[in-house]
Amino acid sequence: YLDFTSFASLGAINPLLTHMARMIVGLNDYDFTWLAADDPNWKSQQQIPTAHVRAATAALFHYRMHAPDVVRWLGGTYTGEYRFDQDIVPTLQRLGIDPLLIAHYVRATTVGCPNHFVAESSRDNFMLHWRKGNHPTVATYVTQVMNTMEKEHRNRFNLPLPVYLARFIPHLFLTPQAMLVKGDDKARLIFDASVRWTAEALP
Average pLDDT score over residue span 163-188 = 88
Task: Yes or no: say if 47 and 195 are a contact pair by the CB < 8 Å rule.
Answer: no
115 has pLDDT over 70: no
If we measure between CA atoms, which residue out of 40, 48, 37, 71 comes closest to residue 151? 48
Asked if 56 and 35 count as a contact pair (C-beta separation under 8 A), the reply is yes
> pLDDT tens-digit profile of 76-108?
888 777 676 677 889 999 999 999 999 888 887
Q: Is the dihedral of CA 152, 130, 164, 135 positive or negative?
A: negative
CA distance 39 to 43: 9
pLDDT score for 164: 92
**Long-range contacts of the stretch 182-185 (C-beta < 8 A, 24+):** none
Q: How many residues does the chain have?
A: 203
Biggest alpha carbon–alpha carbon distance for the chain? 67
Q: Label residue 1 by pLDDT band (50, 70, 90).
A: low
- pLDDT tens-digit readout, 20-59: 999 999 999 999 999 999 888 888 888 899 999 999 999 9
Predicted pLDDT at 141: 92
